[in-house]
Amino acid sequence: MNLTLKVWRQRNASDKGGFVTYKADGISPDMSFLEMLDVVNEGLVKKGEDPIHFDHDCREGICGMCSLYINGRPHGPKRAITTCQLHMRSFSDGETITIEPWRATAFPVIKDLAVDRSAFDRIQQAGGYISVNTGGVPDANEIPVPKPIADEAFNSATCIQCGACVAACKNASAMLFVSAKISQLALLPQGQPERYRRVQSMVAQMDAEGFGGCTNTGACEIECPKEISMTNINRMRRDYFTAKFFKEEEIR
């Protein structure tokens, strides 16, 4: 396959950046999208040019590091996969492919196609945990959890923190991510003691990071590589409103 790539190049956070066009020739349809970029980069290095920087690590769709916005969609045209699981057979010979970084105020570009997603870490640091120390916990089977609840908590927990939801959302809203994190713990009995404190502090941090608000377009759940559902967002809303309007405890 021979392809034309329009790639966003930006030296660092303060550089203005712009698109550069590259030829990717002799690409095998069996390559993954990132392997195609590897090949392009090898060619660039051979020519003495700076390779295209993109984030990637596990290359099996679980670490959440890869984050390319391909032809107008996060992680490219296929459903329920990450960029590293996208294969070149999903494109046609001669196609022009536009590759951009995630775009959001809260995700500043570091270099080329890599963005800083530490806002996600900070949101979780604000309360995305159950405050238990190592040791001194009850036996694992002491508290039964109904299977449907455990399964639903697991569905929320499958989030890989890639940020595709933010990238897809026209408002650059992080609510699918934040609500998945909140939901997982809000559903489980272990998460109940801090349930209403958690939702308030995490939402406050989410807003402080400069993400947009949710307008229920549903783009996030369509583009989520782990198919996390918008039900999580509504669950977060219920908990948040309950906390703010009906609970007497104030958070720190």
Partner 1 sequence: MSSFTKAFSSTLGKKLIMGLTGLFLSLFLIVHLIGNLQLFKDDAGKAFNEYSYFMTHFLPIKIISYLLYASIVLHAVYALVITIHNKKARPVSYASYNGAANSTWSSRNMGILGTILLIFIVIHMGNFWFKYHWGGLPYTQYEMSLSNPSDVKVTNLPISGEPLIHAEYVNTQTGREVLVAKDLYQVVVFSFSSLWYVVLYVISMIAMGFHLYHGFQSGFQSLGFDHTKYKPAINWLGTWLFGIIIPAAFAAIPIYIYITTLNQ
Partner 2 sequence: MILDSKIPDGPLAEKWSKHKFNLKLVNPANKRKYTVIVVGTGLAGAAAAASLAELGYNVKAFCFQDSPRRAHSIAAQGGINAAKNYRNDGDSVYRLFYDTIKGGDYRAREANVHRLAEVSVNIIDQCVAQGVPFAREYGGLLDNRSFGGAQVSRTFYARGQTGQQLLLGAYSALNRQIYEGKVKMYNRHEMLDLVKIDGEARGIVTRNLITGEIETHAGHAVLLCTGGYGNVFYLSTNAMGSNTTAIWRAHKKGALFGNPCFTQIHPTCIPVTGDHQSKLTLMSESLRNDGRVWVPKSREVAARIRKGELKASDVKEEDRDYFLERKYPSFGNLVPRDVASRNAKEAVDDERGVGGSGKAVYLDFADAIKRLGKAAVEAKYGNLFDMYYQITDEDPYTQPMRIYPAVHYTMGGLWVDYNLMTTIPGCYALGEANFSDHGANRLGASALMQGLADGYFVIPYTLGDYLATIGPKPIDDKHPAFAEAKKAVEDNVKKLLSLKGTKTVDEYHRELGNIMWEYCGMARSAEGLTKAKGLIAELKEDFWKNARVMGINEELNMSLEKAGRVADFIELGALMVEDALQRAESCGGHFRVESQTEEGEALRNDDEFAYVAAWEYTGDNQPENLHKENLVYENVKLTQRSYK
Among positions 185-244, residues that touch partner 2 (CB under 8 A) are 185, 188, 190-191
Q: Check binding of 214 to partner 1 (CB under 8 A).
A: yes
Q: How far apart are CA 187 and CA 160, in angstroms?
A: 19
Sole window of 57-65, 131-139, 186-194, 208-216 interacting with partner 1 (rule: CB under 8 A): 208-216
Q: How far apart are the first and last CA of the chain?
A: 58
Q: How far apart are CA 46 and CA 39, in angstroms?
A: 11
Residue with token string 């508290």? 143
Q: Check binding of 1 to partner 2 (CB under 8 A).
A: no
Q: How far apart are CA 229 and CA 207, in angstroms?
A: 21
Binding pattern for the stretch 56-75 against partner 2, x by CB under 8 A and - elsewhere: xxxxxxxxxx----------
CB 159 within 8 A of CB 203: no
Q: Which of 11, 23, 89, 103 binds partner 1 (CB under 8 A)?
A: 103
Q: Which of 96, 116, 210, 213 binds partner 2 (CB under 8 A)?
A: 116
Site for partner 2 in 152-181 (CB under 8 A): 153-154, 157-158, 160-161
3-state secondary structure (DSSP) of residue 218: coil
Q: Report the partner that residue 204 touches, choosing among partner 2, partner 1, none (CB closer than 5 to 8 A by kind).
A: partner 1
**Nearest distance from residue 48's CB to partner 1, in Å?**
27
Q: Report the partner that residue 103 touches, choosing among partner 2, partner 1, none (CB closer than 5 to 8 A by kind).
A: partner 1
Single-letter code of the amino acid located at 116: D
Q: How far apart are CA 95 and CA 202, in angstroms?
A: 42
Q: Report the partner that residue 81 touches, choosing among partner 1, partner 2, none (CB closer than 5 to 8 A by kind).
A: partner 2
Single-letter code of the amino acid located at 28: S
> Quick one: which of 92, 75, 83, 28 has its CA closest to 220?
75
Q: How far is CA 72 from CA 66, 98, 117, in A?
A: 16, 8, 20
Write out the residues near partner 1 by the rule CB under 8 A.
6, 8, 19, 69, 71-73, 77, 98, 100, 103-106, 168, 170-173, 175, 203-204, 206-207, 210-219, 222-223, 230-231, 233-238, 240-241, 244-245, 250
